[in-house]
């Protein structure tokens, strides 16, 4: 049923149950908001969106207030303007005014709001808070002094990921989002996924910035600096330079990295293909020899830390394969070093990742199988963008470039690792052909694609039906784990990605990352796949060469030494 609402003298019709915010949008008015997040539940705590409804004494938040027939609303009356302005001024009174030095400068919702409301001074004295910043982890820095108590991070942690480390503590003016007993993140089962950071409207949660270390490595003439780029970077980096979400910028990405001074520009997609060979063979091995099933993918470091904390008894279900990032590092300092005759000590491996947990993964003690730290520095998509801006390289002027060989050669199967369901699809393309010896007619496994929380598919492999499940976001992952724990899981093989949408929706991606941007990045990811000349990992010639020259065979001795790992109960 449609309802007539008049907003600032504009009549609109909206469906029953719409909020005033939605009705206003239809009337061509963007009511300012702060605690509102398009993917989250309604909170109505910031009160920035209050409007005047005729016949009501109080102003009402547009985000939650439902429309009713004949409603007359004013969004710019003197009382609304006064309240809105006073509320934002109050926010400013406890927010540090160090915008110029803030990582979120020019991409900050409080800044935009202040500007939108034309607030040029605040009558309230600024009373700075003195909370300790938490920089206890390799991934995230929490500065509660900047917190506006919008609670979007709380929802990301509690409802999206179902971890619940962040919540409101204290009361009155001392109310602040914090942790149990004020513990640091490294003392808690935080998985460093950075979804809290993605939800934060300001700079209260940021990634650990390691760009300086990269500049230093590039500038050091003794160092041979390799860079690998994750599949999800090429469909997101453009947003940092004003391009629409889902713009594919692979060529410009490579060109930019070369201009920055990296010695070789390589692709994590290459080791994604390698992962498929190792993991696919591991699955077949488990299927044929009664190994622990279902087997679960192990590419996503936030997911790994989650299962280590939450379901330590299910660790044997994890594939022992390292993530593509770590496989790359291990090979770079062994296979590649030997091939180009450079002392691995002088090789620096930098990865560009959509992920804050990858910074933690690179620091795991078992990620040194080359004899050195396999991956030296991990940058997020945002950090790379900052380096590019610092360098003065003009994004728009960049000519497209291509990855170096051999570690830059990849297939469409590697590319789709960036989207939820991608690893599963890539694995099925390969496993099917390896087992049956027949060519797969339709290589698009559409049932495992998209933003549904849990997806599943069945494939017939040489007379046996293989059931696979895909989950993204830890809330969904927990459901599949509980099924395994209770013995009711129907699957043989499960793909889990920590972040909603998979890596394209990771905590290291451009801000904002919403479900709408996730959808576009996913669409772009499958576009990349479609345009690749080779779309199956086992047809990657560089991977075949790697086996011939170095690894000899999947799951062989070298593979186990360099490409597989073990997990820790936490």
* 173 vs 566, beta carbon nearer other proteins: 173
Please tell me the distance from the alpha carbon of residue 319 to that of residue 286, in angstroms, as a whole number.
10
Please tell me the distance from the alpha carbon of residue 248 to that of residue 245, in angstroms, as a whole number.
9
* 43 vs 358, beta carbon nearer other proteins: 43
Q: What DSSP element (H or E) covers 228?
A: strand 224-229
* 126 vs 544, beta carbon nearer other proteins: 126
* 38 vs 533, beta carbon nearer other proteins: 38
Shortest distance in whole angstroms from residue 118 CB to other proteins: 16
* 51 vs 378, beta carbon nearer other proteins: 51
* 56 vs 464, beta carbon nearer other proteins: 56
* 81 vs 373, beta carbon nearer other proteins: 81
Please tell me the distance from the alpha carbon of residue 315 to that of residue 568, in angstroms, as a whole number.
8
Shortest distance in whole angstroms from residue 164 CB to other proteins: 12
Report the Cα–Cα distance between both ends of the chain, in Å, rounded: 53
* 129 vs 259, beta carbon nearer other proteins: 129
Residues that bind other proteins (CB under 8 A): 42-48, 50, 58-59, 61, 64-66, 79, 82-83, 86-87, 90-91, 93-94, 123-125, 127, 148-149, 167-168, 170-175
Please tell me the distance from the alpha carbon of residue 22 to that of residue 431, in angstroms, as a whole number.
47
* 42 vs 293, beta carbon nearer other proteins: 42
Bridge partner list, 10: 7
Q: Could you say which DSSP state residue 511 is in?
A: S
Bridge partner list, 380: 353
Shortest distance in whole angstroms from residue 51 CB to other proteins: 10
Please tell me the distance from the alpha carbon of residue 472 to that of residue 493, in angstroms, as a whole number.
14
Residue 250, Cβ neighbours under 10 Å: how many? Answer: 22
Shortest distance in whole angstroms from residue 475 CB to other proteins: 18
Angle at 184 between CA 181 and CA 190, to 5 degrees: 100
Q: Is 13 left (phi over 0), alpha (psi -120 to 50) or beta?
A: beta
Dihedral of alpha carbons 319, 156, 415, 208, sign: negative
Strands 347-353, 224-229: parallel, antiparallel or unpaired by DSSP? parallel
Shortest distance in whole angstroms from residue 256 CB to other proteins: 41
Do residues 368 and 362 make contact, with C-beta atoms less than 8 angstroms apart? no
360 Cβ contact partners less than 8 Å away, ≥ 6 residues apart: 137, 138, 139, 192, 301, 305
What percent helix, strand, coil does the chain show, rounded to 5? 40, 15, 45
Burial track 423-451 (b if 16+ CB lie within 10 A, e otherwise)? bbbbbbbbbbbbbeeeebeebebebbbbb
Shortest distance in whole angstroms from residue 275 CB to other proteins: 42
* 48 vs 413, beta carbon nearer other proteins: 48
Q: How far from chain centre, in Å, is Cα 255?
A: 23
Please tell me the distance from the alpha carbon of residue 299 to that of residue 398, in angstroms, as a whole number.
32
* 80 vs 423, beta carbon nearer other proteins: 80
Shortest distance in whole angstroms from residue 107 CB to other proteins: 22
Shortest distance in whole angstroms from residue 368 CB to other proteins: 44
Do residues 323 and 374 make contact, with C-beta atoms less than 8 angstroms apart? no
368 Cβ contact partners less than 8 Å away, ≥ 6 residues apart: 374
Q: Could you say which DSSP state residue 157 is in?
A: I
Q: Which alpha helices (H) appear in 313-380, and where do they start and end?
A: 324-331, 337-340, 357-363
Shortest distance in whole angstroms from residue 31 CB to other proteins: 13
Shortest distance in whole angstroms from residue 75 CB to other proteins: 14
Shortest distance in whole angstroms from residue 42 CB to other proteins: 7
Do residues 547 and 276 make contact, with C-beta atoms less than 8 angstroms apart? no
3 state SS of 102:
coil
Shortest distance in whole angstroms from residue 443 CB to other proteins: 45
Shortest distance in whole angstroms from residue 47 CB to other proteins: 5
Do residues 344 and 337 make contact, with C-beta atoms less than 8 angstroms apart? yes
Shortest distance in whole angstroms from residue 145 CB to other proteins: 14
* 85 vs 436, beta carbon nearer other proteins: 85
* 65 vs 266, beta carbon nearer other proteins: 65
Cα-atom radius of gyration of the chain, to the nearest Å?
25
Do residues 71 and 49 make contact, with C-beta atoms less than 8 angstroms apart? no
* 74 vs 224, beta carbon nearer other proteins: 74
């Amino acid at each position: 049923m449609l309802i007539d609402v008049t907003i600032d003298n504009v009549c609109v019709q909206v469906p029953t149950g719409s909020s005033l915010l939605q009705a206003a949008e239809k009337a061509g008015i963007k009511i300012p908001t702060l605690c509102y997040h398009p993917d989250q539940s309604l909170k109505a705590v910031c009160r920035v969106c209050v409007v005047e409804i005729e016949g009501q004494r109080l102003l009402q938040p547009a985000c939650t207030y439902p429309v009713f027939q004949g409603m007359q609303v004013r969004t710019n009356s003197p009382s609304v303007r006064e309240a809105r302005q006073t509320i934002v001024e109050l926010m400013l009174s406890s927010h540090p005014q160090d915008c110029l030095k803030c990582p979120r400068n020019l991409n900050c919702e409080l800044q935009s709001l202040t500007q939108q409301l034309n607030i040029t001074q605040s009558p309230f004295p600024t009373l700075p808070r003195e909370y300790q910043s938490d920089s206890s982890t390799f991934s995230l820095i929490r500065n509660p002094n900047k917190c506006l108590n919008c609670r979007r991070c709380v929802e990301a942690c509690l409802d999206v990921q179902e971890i619940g480390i962040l919540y409101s503590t204290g009361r009155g003016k001392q109310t602040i989002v914090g942790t149990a007993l004020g513990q640091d993140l490294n003392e808690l089962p935080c998985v460093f996924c950075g979804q809290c950071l993605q939800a934060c409207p300001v700079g209260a949660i940021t990634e650990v910035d390691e760009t300086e270390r990269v500049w230093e490595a590039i500038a050091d003439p003794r160092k041979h600096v390799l860079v690998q780029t994750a599949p999800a970077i090429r469909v997101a980096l453009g947003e940092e330079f004003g391009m629409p979400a889902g713009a594919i910028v692979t060529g410009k990405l490579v060109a930019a990295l070369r201009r920055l001074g990296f010695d070789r520009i390589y692709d994590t997609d290459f080791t994604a293909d390698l992962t498929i060979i190792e993991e696919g063979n591991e699955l077949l091995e488990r299927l044929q020899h009664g190994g622990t099933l279902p087997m679960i993918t192990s590419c996503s470091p936030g997911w790994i830390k989650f299962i280590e904390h939450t379901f330590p008894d299910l660790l044997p279900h994890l594939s022992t394969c390292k993530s593509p990032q770590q496989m790359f590092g291990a090979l770079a300092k062994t296979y590649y070093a030997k091939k180009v005759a450079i002392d691995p000590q002088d090789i620096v491996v930098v990865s560009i990742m959509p992920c804050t947990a990858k910074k933690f993964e690179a620091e795991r003690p078992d990620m040194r199988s080359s004899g050195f730290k396999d991956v030296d520095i991990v940058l997020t998509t945002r950090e790379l963008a900052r380096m590019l801006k610092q360098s003065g390289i003009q994004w728009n002027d960049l000519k497209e470039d291509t990855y170096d060989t051999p570690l830059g050669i990849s297939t469409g199967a590697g590319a789709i690792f960036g989207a939820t369901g991608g690893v599963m699809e890539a694995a099925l393309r390969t496993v099917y052909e390896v087992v049956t010896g027949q060519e797969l007619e339709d290589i698009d496994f559409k049932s495992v694609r998209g933003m549904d929380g849990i997806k599943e598919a069945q494939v017939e492999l040489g007379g046996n039906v293989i059931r696979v499940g895909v989950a993204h976001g830890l809330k969904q992952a927990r459901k599949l784990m509980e099924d395994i724990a209770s013995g009711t899981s129907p699957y043989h093989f499960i793909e889990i990605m920590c972040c909603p949408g998979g890596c394209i929706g990771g905590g290291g991606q451009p801000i904002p990352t919403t479900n709408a941007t996730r959808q576009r990045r996913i669409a772009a990811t499958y576009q990349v796949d479609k345009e690749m000349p080779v779309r199956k990992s086992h047809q990657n010639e560089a991977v075949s060469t790697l086996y011939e020259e170095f690894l000899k065979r999947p799951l062989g001795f070298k593979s186990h030494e360099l490409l597989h790992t073990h997990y820790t109960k936490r």
